[in-house]
Structure 1
Amino acid sequence: MSYDAHFRVWRGDAAGGELADYTVAVHDGEVVLDVIHRLQATEATDLAVRWNCKAGKCGSCSAEINGRPRLMCMTRMSSLPSGETVTVTPMRAFPVVRDLVTDVSFNYAKAREVPAFVPPPGLAPGEYRMKQEDVGRSQEFRKCIECFLCQDTCHVVRDHEENKAAFAGPRFLMRVAELDMHPLDAAAETGLDRKRAAQEEHGLGYCNITKCCTEVCPEHIKITDNALIPLKERAVDRKYDPLVWLGNKIRRRGA
């Protein structure tokens, strides 16, 4: 069965733009990306849209559908309110390049700010040994497809451009949390305190755990509960531990 749907799609570039109205045919089983491709093939041949796998694994086709950050390839038309206009706009947290394509370079800059895994001294790759429980904890975070929907929906990034310099966002705080809980990460032995860095360099304190990042994650990663809240707890424990405070005082006096 086919039917005609009313779409409103944002058209424009960095200088500005507006929503354009289209009527597009929809067939059973289609997702929003299918309809956008049909729109490109018929009425808007110059419509810019980023996509790659169409299987929910590359994270390329992120956009906002009826105001909610989603992957276009994973949003079935049948899941949207029947008979209502479908509005598709670019991710609001990032600068528009053209139409539905945004400049997400902010995220790659933040990724480079997170120090990489530090291998344990005296062990070569292949000699690492971990408990299955520890493997499972990290494996959840490795499911991330870099769609940046969590970054887009986070109000600290989305609504406050001035915060971007000091705040890494949920995706990269999750990366810090993953490394901090990794039993083989030897960062501390090199003088790198990941908990302190999360608080002072990556803006962990800006996060107020509203769980909006978890709600939009297409991989269903429990970003808030399993990464951000535990990282906050460890950072606070470290910062306000009386023994750590006393040790820092003694070291400063000795200097």
Structure 2
Amino acid sequence: MGYQARFRVWRGSAEGGELRDFTAEVNEGEVVLDILHRLQATQCPDLAVRWNCKAGKCGSCSAEVNGRPKLLCMTRMSTFAEDETITVTPMRTFPVLKDLVCDVSYNYVKAREVPAFQPPADLGPGEYRMQQVDVARSQEFRKCIECFLCQDTCHVIRDHEPNKESFSGPRFLMRVAELEMHPLDTAEDRAEQARGDHGLGQCNITRCCTEVCPEHIQITDNALIPLKERVADRRYDPLRWLFRR
């Protein structure tokens, strides 16, 4: 049996906007994205919402539901009470283009700042050999769908716009950590790059990025904290310092 749910959806652009109230039918098994599509079909055909796969794998439909960063296609209506008003707003960390669609180009700028994997010059295609333990260490990080929910919830850039210049955010610090763990990567000191170029020191490991990850990647515990430890070892361990000198 369906029911009528109350929604508050943010409508507007970079110049400004407001939350508008809607009532929409909800049927068994539906997700928030289904309701937004129904609103587009019946009440506001110009509602802008980004989506692609509707299977939690493309990362396109990121937004905030009741103030929490979520994928709209993975947020089931059954998790809300029938008499609850559900508020849907765009990601707060990024500039709004229209309605629920944000300009996430900041993330692609930061992605280009991470040097690509650099294999040894004397190894040809098909000659890479790694121990399974080394494969397993970073396998988890390759599940990232780049929904940028971790970037959205990270208070370093969410609450402090000027930090975007010097801080790459958890998604790209995780990428640096993944490459730094790779035994065949020959790029120059990625841990030091994380400290200097990507602002690793600004991360204070609150684990908010881990909490919102739809792929359940342990970003903080398995990527950021180990990377911070390796940076600290290289800079402050007296034996390592002497060896570098």
Instruction: Give the TM-score category using the shorter length.
Output: over 0.9
User: Pairwise mapping of residues 1-255 of structure 1 onto structure 2 (< 5 A)?
Assistant: 1-187=1-187, 192-247=188-243, 250=245
State the secondary structure of the residue aligned to 2:143.
coil
* TM-score, normalised by the number of residues in structure 1: 0.94
CA drift at 1:81 = 3.3
CA drift at 1:247 = 4.7
Query: What is the CA–CA distance in structure 1 between the aligned matches of 2:192 and 2:146, rounded to whole Å?
Result: 25
Query: What is the CA–CA distance in structure 2 between the aligned matches of 1:243 and 1:139, rounded to whole Å?
Result: 31
Residue identity opposite 2:224 in structure 1: L
- Do the aligned partners of residues 238 and 81 (structure 1) sit closer, same or farther apart at CA in structure 2, a change above 3 Å counting? farther
Query: What is the CA–CA distance in structure 2 between the aligned matches of 1:101 and 1:140, rounded to whole Å?
Result: 28
Deviation by residue 1:125-176 (Cα, 9 ceiling, x = unmatched): 2110111111112211000000000000000010000100000000000000
CA drift at 1:58 = 0.2
Query: What is the CA–CA distance in structure 2 between the aligned matches of 1:68 and 1:208, rounded to whole Å?
Result: 20
CA drift at 1:6 = 0.3
Conserved? CA contact 2:3–2:82, under 8 Å? no
Query: What is the CA–CA distance in structure 1 between the aligned matches of 2:132 and 2:241, rounded to whole Å?
Result: 34
Give structure 2 stretches of 5+ with no counterpart: none
Query: What is the CA–CA distance in structure 2 between the aligned matches of 1:233 and 1:245, rounded to whole Å?
Result: 15
CA drift at 1:193 = 1.2
Give structure 1 stretches of 5+ with no counterpart: 251-255
Query: What is the CA–CA distance in structure 2 between the aligned matches of 1:174 and 1:50, rounded to whole Å?
Result: 25
| Root-mean-square deviation (Å) | 0.9
State the secondary structure of the residue aligned to 1:227.
helix
CA drift at 1:79 = 1.0
Query: What is the CA–CA distance in structure 1 between the aligned matches of 2:241 and 2:210, rounded to whole Å?
Result: 34
1:253 corresponds to: none
Q: Which runs of 4+ in 1 moved over 6 A?
A: none
Query: What is the CA–CA distance in structure 2 between the aligned matches of 1:247 and 1:70, rounded to whole Å?
Result: 46
Deviation by residue 1:30-79 (Cα, 9 ceiling, x = unmatched): 00000000000011110000000000000000000000000000000001
State the secondary structure of the residue aligned to 1:164.
helix
Percent identity for Structure 1 against Structure 2? 75
* TM-score, normalised by the number of residues in structure 2: 0.98
How many residue pairs match? The answer is 245
Deviation by residue 1:178-236 (Cα, 9 ceiling, x = unmatched): 0001111111xxxx211111011100001010100000000000000000000000000
Query: What is the CA–CA distance in structure 2 between the aligned matches of 1:21 and 1:125, rounded to whole Å?
Result: 57
Conserved? CA contact 2:150–2:209, under 8 Å? yes
Residue identity opposite 1:205 in structure 2: G
Query: What is the CA–CA distance in structure 1 between the aligned matches of 2:159 and 2:113, rounded to whole Å?
Result: 22
